[in-house]
């Protein structure tokens, strides 16, 4: 074993030492440490109508700086009356600082490099922990989290039978070997839609750093994974595990089946079109026939597994990510790059042939990831194929798309993938004409500017309006922060970087609940995610979550009855509870941890 891998393995066994049961502190700060370069702020919920005196002290109790708070007042997002302490102009660094505000005292905190070098490593480890088809080994994760392979040698047939609405789905005649990939979230499903944005985010991190001369966040031997030491960047090794799975989900030549096409109500009777040529399309997911309970290790799952019907959205997710992989691996593994490009073009052609196979089935045992509009996936896939092939066909699709004409870029999500294409094109400005490059730049900067305006209106300085805190709000914030980071890259302006730092600080404790939403980081960090294996709270035979896992976060829009009862009356940013049963607020997923890796690596650049 190479020395670098030995060091990484030792690091992987060391969990950050934190007191996770600390009481709530009245001063809200980033619990994992403030960056020397960037905003240094604290929020203090206090009913006082006038400013309060504050003092920053060093580890010896000596005063560094003093001042008075700025009363920001009633805040709709948190339901609190807030005071702001801002000592961003201070250049001091070190450990053991404390902040005194009126009669309140903060926990000790550090000012310096911040936690991001360690956090990016732990956040990436999430994906190895959640690999399917391979044993998770003690030497990489420690004894607590080691487990046998889940769903090894997974050869899955197509689902045939009734969905929850009583629709009869005819099974296709083929089976596929779909071993590998990442488990999507707290369950054991593996999804092409959602796997796509997660994979893109990791690959985009690598590609952006390579093109901007920023080095690489995960050089070979720096991550605790089996492939470390093989001469390939470890981020790419982890991403390839998912890319191989995505490729395996492509229907073979000659495959035909009946599908419902066009806009239909998935909760009522569907109309099927018979004998559709689905060759080259991607199956939407492979998953259990029925929902399983908690706790349950992947290798203990005895449910039957099925391929669920192909969809245009899944097919375009494959086309996009395979095109992205083709250009990244071109010089690293030309044979793999060629295989990816062929699969991408084949998927693109299949999507053109069947452009309206929407994910309509309401099946038991897995998430739907339904999407009634796939124009954004067409734009994304065309953008990736344009960046890879430079063919005029894809230029025409991209520039004529309504998604290219938007005034401001919105944050990406699994159901809103057009921004992924725009961000890819921003890495290759030479592809577009000068006017189109200017339009793209303007879209990114207008989007980022809008996010900063929302942050300025927020008591906790977050780029999200109060009523927009929905399922996975922390992911929304991180994906918006990614656009802010692009704006910083494009302009060099510090205000955009400050916005990214503000999002990271919120995730790490500078929020109305005084909670770090990232396991293992901070005095009060999330401990009970909705996850079938990280379930020690339900059974001591199971492990707790490893460090570096991010919770979905507050959810005011789709809590569900059970969560609403357990949480009670809540302001948008406080609609959260650290409860393993509450998947609407405390689930963890690949598409939430992927932007955490991206942001931690970006902030670690300095």
Report the catalytic residues: 187, 530, 578, 587
Ordered alpha helix ranges (H), 390-417: 392-400
CB 141 within 8 A of CB 12: yes
- Residue 9 is encoded by which pair of tokens? 């393995």
Q: What DSSP string runs through 368-380?
A: ----S--HHHHHH
Strand partners, 84: 43, 70
Residue 353: closest CA among 255, 243, 247: 255
Q: Is the peptide bond before 250 cis (omega within 30 degrees of 0)?
A: no
* 30/510 Cα distance (integer angstroms): 5
* 542/585 Cα distance (integer angstroms): 22
* 221/226 Cα distance (integer angstroms): 10
Count the neighbouring beta carbons within 10 Å of the beta carbon of residue 557: 14
CB 121 within 8 A of CB 222: yes
* 254/86 Cα distance (integer angstroms): 64
Count the neighbouring beta carbons within 10 Å of the beta carbon of residue 435: 9
CB 237 within 8 A of CB 230: yes
The upper half-sphere exposure of residue 10, i.e. CA atoms within 13 Å in the direction of its Cβ, equals 6
Burial grade of 437 (CB within 10 A; 0-12, 13-18, 19 or more):
middle
Instruction: Identify the sign of the CA torsion 472, 473, 479, 485.
Output: negative
Q: How many residues does the chain have?
A: 606
CB 312 within 8 A of CB 290: no
Q: 73-95 burial, b if ≥16 CB within 10 A, otherwise e? A: eebebbbbbbbbbebeeeeeeee
* 97/107 Cα distance (integer angstroms): 8
How far is the first Cα of the chain from the last one, in angstroms, to the nearest whole number? 31
């Amino acid at each position: 074993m190479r020395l670098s891998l030995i060091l990484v393995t030792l690091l992987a066994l060391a969990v950050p030492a934190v007191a996770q049961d600390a009481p709530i502190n009245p001063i809200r700060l980033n619990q994992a440490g403030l960056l020397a370069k960037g905003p240094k702020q604290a929020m203090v919920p206090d009913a006082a109508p006038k400013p309060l005196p504050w003092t920053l002290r060093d580890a010896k109790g000596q005063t560094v700086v003093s001042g008075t708070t700025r009363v920001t007042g009633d805040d709709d997002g948190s339901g609190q009356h807030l005071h702001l302490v801002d000592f961003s102009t201070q250049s001091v660094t070190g450990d053991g600082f404390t902040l005194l505000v009126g009669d309140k005292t903060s926990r000790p905190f550090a000012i310096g490099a911040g936690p991001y070098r360690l956090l990016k490593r732990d956040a990436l480890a999430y994906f190895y922990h959640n690999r399917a088809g391979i044993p998770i080994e003690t030497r990489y994760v420690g004894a607590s989290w080691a487990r046998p392979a889940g769903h090894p040698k997974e050869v899955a047939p197509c689902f045939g039978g009734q969905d929850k609405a009583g629709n009869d789905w005819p099974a296709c005649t083929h089976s596929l070997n779909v071993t590998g990939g990442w488990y999507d979230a707290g369950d054991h499903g593996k999804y092409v839609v959602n796997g796509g944005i997660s994979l893109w985010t990791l690959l985009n991190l690598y590609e952006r750093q390579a093109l901007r001369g920023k080095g690489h966040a995960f050089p070979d031997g720096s991550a605790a994974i089996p492939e470390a030491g093989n001469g390939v960047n470890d981020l790419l090794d982890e991403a390839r595990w998912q890319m191989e799975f995505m490729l395996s989900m492509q229907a073979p030549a000659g495959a035909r089946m009946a599908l419902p096409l066009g806009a239909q109500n998935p909760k009522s009777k569907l109309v099927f079109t018979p004998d559709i040529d689905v060759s080259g399309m991607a199956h939407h997911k492979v998953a259990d026939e029925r929902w399983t309970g908690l706790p349950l290790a992947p290798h203990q799952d005895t449910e039957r597994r099925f391929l669920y019907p192909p969809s245009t959205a899944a097919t375009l997710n494959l086309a996009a990510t395979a095109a992205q992989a083709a250009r990244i691996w071109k010089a690293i593994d030309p044979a793999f790059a060629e295989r990816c490009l062929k699969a991408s073009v084949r998927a693109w052609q299949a999507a053109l042939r069947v452009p309206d196979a929407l994910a309509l089935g309401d099946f038991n045992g897995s998430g739907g990831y339904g999407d009634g509009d796939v124009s954004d996936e067409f734009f994304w896939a065309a953008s990736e194929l344009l960046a890879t092939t430079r063919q005029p066909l894809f230029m025409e699709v991209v520039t004529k798309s309504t998604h290219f004409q938007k005034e401001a870029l919105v944050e990406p999500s699994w159901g809103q993938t057009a921004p992924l294409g725009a961000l890819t094109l921003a890495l290759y400005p030479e592809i577009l004409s000068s006017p189109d490059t200017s339009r793209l730049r303007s879209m990114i900067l207008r989007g980022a500017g809008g996010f900063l305006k929302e942050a300025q209106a927020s008591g906790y300085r977050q780029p999200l309006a109060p009523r927009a805190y929905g399922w996975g709000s922390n992911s929304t914030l991180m994906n918006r922060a990614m656009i802010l980071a692009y704006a910083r890259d494009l302009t060099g302006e510090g205000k955009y970087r400050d916005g990214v730092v503000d999002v990271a600080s919120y995730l790490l404790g500078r929020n109305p609940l005084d909670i770090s939403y990232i396991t293992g980081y901070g005095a009060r960090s999330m401990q009970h995610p909705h996850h079938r294996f990280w379930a020690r709270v339900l059974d001591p035979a199971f492990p707790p979550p490893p460090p570096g896992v991010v919770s979905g976060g507050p959810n005011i829009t789709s809590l569900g009855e059970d969560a609403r009862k357990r949480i009670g009356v809540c302001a948008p940013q406080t609609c959260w509870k650290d409860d393993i049963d509450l998947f609407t607020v405390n689930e963890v997923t690949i598409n939430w941890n992927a932007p955490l890796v991206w942001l931690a690596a970006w902030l670690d650049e300095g």
